[in-house]
Structure 1
Amino acid sequence: MHILTVRSTLPDMGPGTQPLVIARELRSRGDTVSFATSGGAYTDTVRAADFPVHIIPELAPDRHRLGAVVRAVAALRRLIVAENPDVIHGHNAAATILAVTAARLAGKRIPAVTSVRGVEERDTHQWRNKIWKRTPGVLLAVCEKTRDRLLSFGVPDDRISVTYNGVDLARFQPESVDGAVQRQALGLTGKIVVGTTGAFTGSPAQGGPSKGQHILVKAVAQLKDRHPDLAVLLVGDGKTRSMVEDLARDLGCADRVVFAGRRFDVPEMLSAMDIYCLASISGEFFPNSIIEAMSMGLPWVGSDIAGLSELTADGEAGQVTPIGDVAALAANLDRLAGDADLRASRGARARNEVEQRLSIEHVCDRIVSAYLQAGVPENIARETSPHVI
């Protein structure tokens, strides 16, 4: 099976990295995968993984004027004629629409799916969500909450498949990394470490970093007397980092907050943590960071956003708290910080949850099923994924 993966850009963050994780798994089954994109920070990584990458500058989201759209469709038409893919897998709606339009102009009716990792949440921009009902093919929702949102936009239920995001468990193996070495390098030896990974996005005007690093620092500041050995590890960088650094100083806990900066050795950074926290205040549906942390056997606490509640039952692997509720977050961290057995049991359940449901193998099985739902012939899918038929 030949999959043409299309995305407007390939950023080096969750939405841009997941297509490569999927492509690697499909290739391991014998499928061929190629990419079409305008570029982005992750493009060289995709090329280094030996996937063909076709650069079409007009796919960039800021170039959707009529002339750019015409040029993008023309370039995609040439690519589709040359490659003759069995399925178009878009990773944003506009890219899928352009690719399907190009295919039809080439006289081909190629099945299409689109991974939906987020929708427009701002009340003033809800008109943008009309695009989902018009996006051709099957929509791959990353969680049940995403499915519910798509249904609310008028997308028929039979055009939605919940596939979730997946993680490569071969990369995230708790026993393969020495956490003590990482702690020593970060100056965290002997500490109970609660950490998070992700860019410092957002702005003070929007209430602070969208991933809630400031909420985590406030919660830990409330616990500094009860847990003098509790420390924070913040992995990432961005424009609101200085805001959080100032906050830590103002709250008198700067000495227990480590800013590691932007890192790509994510398993190593996670190995230095005892607890994972994602206190996001906006912009999340089903974050890769949580399932990566779960893969490393970490218990977690997170904001009750989108699909996080689908990752745990009755607090078995993690705990959700109301968005922006510092006291509730502090209470959950207090319990975990003071109970090593609880951390171990929740961490083991977290790893098991990923193994049973969220490994990239399981996720790609659901994706291949969605390809069939979209119209890929069974005999083509059977060649590389016979167990899905």
Structure 2
Amino acid sequence: MTEAAPNSGAGWRIVHTEHSLGWGGQEHRVLAELCGFQQRGSRVWLLAPPSACLFARAQEAQVAARPLETSKLRFAFSVVQLARWLKTRRIQVLNPHSSRDGWLAGLAGRLARVPLIVRSRHIDVDYPHRWLSRHAYTTLCDHVITTSDKITAHFQAMFGLPKERISTIPTGIDTRRFCPAGPKADWGVDAVRGPKIGMISVLRSWKGHATLLQAARRLKDQNFPARFIIVGEGPARAFILQQIGELDLSGVVTLAGHREDVPEILRSLDLLVIPSTAHEGIPQIGLQALATGTPVIGSDAGGIPEIVRPNETGSLFPAGDAAALAAAIRETLSNREKTAALCRRGRALVESQHSRDHMLDGLDALYRRYLSP
């Protein structure tokens, strides 16, 4: 997309940086913020490697995308070059999302005297060199945004951040796209046997696919008819295939690969499982499932309990406990009346607290707090 010259139009002048090359929840969030504020009248830019999935997606969405140079050999030059560009564009908000671009953008933003530098944290991880990381989240930024209260509390404990310098702003869901009414994915005749239990995520070790497969084996041993559909791609694919073979689950588990028709898939499922074992903020797929009225079972890892609330919006089980997950699946699919009530309350929760507009309003309020005269 060809960039226009700087102007004094309505809205903010916002830059997001992202070094990640993949396409998952974090990248979805970045694009949602870019598109959301652009639709509200702000000028927005994405700085990312041209080979990144997010770079292409931003261009498809008519968001201005510029190459981000993150080579260690050219680091100092890249900092100066980016600082010059930020100053020329009179950027008001600079928001890095990953480690490498965080250092680059943070230093460049300070050199350019960008009024507000925000760092986003999407997952919950420990930092082995906290004394160094503390500078990334204090010296080189003005405010930290996380996607769940669990991550916020962890950051405050790790880096001693005062509450006025960190906020929880979960990712907002497009409730018009993710709604109960609409078409459903067609899985073919083979998938009709029994209820369809799904898992949608990047295929990573900590997402808990092993727990789901162990639960599937238990249910198969109990002659409980069900079809398990795993949607997504990622580095753990080979391990998952190996587990399916070793547990003799090829007849009941489908690896569907990467799919774009997520609302249709969710409507087609009888149940969505989020069995993560670590690192989760508030998972977007959980919010999307609640918005479409799909029953949800989640582990108690990370920020999952903030939206999957027992006897209110879904069911929880101890992370890594396949027996407890199998029992929760049986209970959820057996008690239809209770499950329907959970789904109604889940949709209401998303509409009232986790819509796309709710997220954008929260970010806008943060920007105004720092930038309003």
Q: Counterpart of 1:350?
A: 346
Structure 2 CA distance for partners of 1:24 and 1:10, relative to 1, 3 Å? farther
Q: Which has the higher contact order (CA 8 A, sep 6+)?
A: 1
Task: Tell which deviates more after alignment, 286-295 or 158-167.
Answer: 286-295
Secondary structure of 1:89's aligned partner: strand
**Secondary structure at 1:341's aligned position in 2?**
helix
Alpha-carbon separation, structure 2, partners of 1:282 and 1:125? 20
The whole-number CA distance in structure 2 between the counterparts of 1:28 and 1:228 is 48
Instruction: Say yes or no: does 1:112 pair with 2:117.
Output: yes
Residues 252-267 of structure 1 mapped to structure 2, 5 A cutoff: 252-267=248-263
Matched, 1:83 2:89: yes
* Secondary structure at the counterpart of residue 345 of structure 1: helix
- Structure 1 residues 103 and 214: CA distance shift in structure 2, 3 A: closer
Correspondences of 1:157-196 after superposition (within 5 Å): 157-179=163-185, 182-184=186-188, 187-196=190-199
Partner SS, residue 170 of structure 1:
coil
Residues 230 and 292 of structure 1: is their aligned pair in 2 closer, same or farther, counting only changes over 3 Å?
same
> Equivalent residue for 1:28?
39
C-alpha separation in 2, matches of 1:300 and 1:21: 23
Q: Name the CA distance, whole Å, in 1 between partners of 2:317 and 2:129.
A: 27
Identity %: 25
For 2:6, the equivalent position in structure 1 comes to none
The answer to whether the 8 Å contact 1:321/1:329 transfers is yes
3-state SS of 1:139 partner: strand
- Contact map agreement 1:166 1:359 (CA 8 A) in 2: yes
How many corresponding residue pairs? 359
Residue aligned with 2:365, SS: helix
- Counterparts of 1:116 and 1:251 in 2: how far apart (Å)? 36
Cα deviation for residue 251 of structure 1 reads 2.9
Q: Report the equivalent of 1:215.
A: 211
* Cα separation, 2, equivalents of 1:292 and 1:159: 29
Structure 1 residue aligned with 2:282, among 264, 270, 286? 286
Q: Could you tell me whether the CA contact under 8 Å between 2:19 and 2:98 is conserved in 1?
A: yes
Residue-by-residue CA offset, 1:327-363 (whole Å, 9 max, x unaligned): 1111111101212223322222222111111111101
CA distance in 2, matches of 1:127, 1:255: 51
User: What SS is found at the alignment partner of 2:207?
Assistant: coil
How far apart are the structure 2 equivalents of 1:72 and 1:290? 38
Structure 1 residues 21 and 359, CA gap change in structure 2 (3 angstroms) = same
SS in 2 for 1:281: coil
Residues 18-50 of structure 1 deviation map (CA, whole Å, 9 limit, x = unaligned): 111112221222112111122312211111100
Aligned pairs for 1:188-207 (under 5 A) are 188-201=191-204
After TM superposition, give the deviation of residue 142 of structure 1 in Å. Answer: 0.9
For residue 90 of structure 1, report the CA deviation from its aligned partner: 2.2
Aligned to 1:147: 152
CA–CA distance in 2 between the matches of 1:94 and 1:340? 48
Q: What do the CA deviations read for 1:114-143 (whole angstroms, capped 9, x no partner)? A: 221124337x56566433343411111211
Question: Unaligned 5+ residue runs, structure 1?
Answer: 202-208, 379-389
**TM-score, with length taken from structure 2:** 0.89
- The alignment partner of 1:306 has SS state of coil
User: 8 Å contact 1:93–1:132 — kept in the other structure?
Assistant: no
SS of residue paired to 2:58: helix
Out of 69, 89, 95, the residue aligned to residue 57 of structure 1 is 69
1:49 aligned partner, one-letter code: A
SS class of match (2:53):
coil
The correspondence of residues 38-49 of structure 1 with structure 2, limited to 5 A, is 38-39=49-50, 40-49=52-61
Residues 71-129 of structure 1: per-residue CA shift (max 9 Å, x gap): 221231232133212211222355345334324434x342121221124337x565664
Change (3 A) 1:342 1:230: farther
Task: Tell me which residue corresponds to 1:319.
Answer: 315
Q: Give unmatched runs, 5+ long, in structure 2.
A: 1-11
Residue aligned with 1:242, SS = helix
- TM-superposed CA distance for 1:174, in Å, is 2.5
Map of 2:360 onto structure 1 = 364
Cα drift, residue 245 of structure 1: 2.9
Q: Secondary structure at the match of 1:258?
A: strand
What amino acid is the match of 2:118? V
